[in-house]
Amino acid sequence: MKKPARRDGTPDRNNKKQRPTRSETGGRSDRAETGHRSGRPDAAKGKPGRPDPAAKNKRGKPKSAKPQRAQAQAPKVSNAKPARHQYADADRPAGPPQGDGMRLQKVLAQAGVASRRAAEELISQGRVEVDGRIVIEQGLRIDPENAVVRVDGIRVVVQKDLVHLALNKPRGWQSTMSDDLGRPCVGDIVSERVAAGQRLFHVGRLDADTEGLLLLTNDGDLAHRLMHPSFEVSKTYLATVSGALERGVGKKLKEGVELEDGPAKVDTFTLLDINEGKSLVRVTLHEGRKHIVRRLFDAVGHPVIRLVRTDIGAVALGDQRPGTLRVLGRGEVGGLYGAVGL
């Protein structure tokens, strides 16, 4: 068989035998075969690499490599500890924690301190104290049953069930909640409140012949401290005594008088009037012993004819009529708590 000649008539010696087709080679491609022969396993396995210089397209030009899909990089793992607020919820509201309880400004409004808006101004001005800490943030929630709230240093009673009353006990009435002999007593005056469920008791006692200010409350801790002599809560009396007081009686009472159960004295002594053989004096003392004022004046020779208690700490009787009750004001209640360290 004659070999094909070139156009100029010379035989084509470089013409090689025609390569078998894909069907004749059992499905292997020319590139795979060429790669196997050239010793490049990557080309034979079909792995991406540089284009085979022996592979040509229909026009006889080298084939260009097909674009390969970019390989996704594996995520980097960091063993560093996250910051404290790295995963904080962005929607969390700023400000104090919103837990159980009642908002402070609402508590102050219900206690009669001020309106809610005015209470917010008190808080922002740093005039409100909760459990010994000054509060300036708005929206703080507290437990009214246990929290100790003060405004300008004065305690505010925020518990709804606490009751503080001032009674002007009439002369001849017993300082008891009930009397077996049927005599008039303090319990008769507050009977409606007791029937409504209020558990009231009187703070201290006044003997039947002594009239004036008597406190009633259902706060046992406050009552106990007001009666305890170690807290030295002052009490003021107006006493009408027999005889015209001589000079030196007041000094003697302030220096101290020896009684059968120990010495006693008054804190202040003021002579107000002398008329028709009687003297009107005002004395203040923190003693709580029974009949202490009467016994002191008996010791100096001027028995008491009439005795009226007018003040207990920050609470004053004023012009309150005998046998009437009134609810103590916020300042009066705060003064009582402050006097006994509550």
Instruction: Supply the residues annotated as catalytic.
Output: 207
3-state helix/strand/coil string of 89-158: CCCCCCCCCCCCCEEHHHHHHHCCCCCHHHHHHHHHCCCEEECCEEECCCCCEECCCCCCEEECCEEECC
Query: Cβ neighbours of residue 273 under 8 Å, at least 6 residues apart?
Result: 279, 280
285 vs 77: CA distance, rounded Å? 79
Coil, strand or helix at 24 = coil
Give the helix/strand (H/E) hosting 207. none
Token reading at 288: 């709580």
Between CA 284 and CA 287, with CA 286 as vertex, the angle to 5 degrees is 110
Which residue type does 91 have? Answer: D
* DSSP symbols for 152-187: TTEEE---TT--EEEEEEPTT-BSSS--TT---BHH
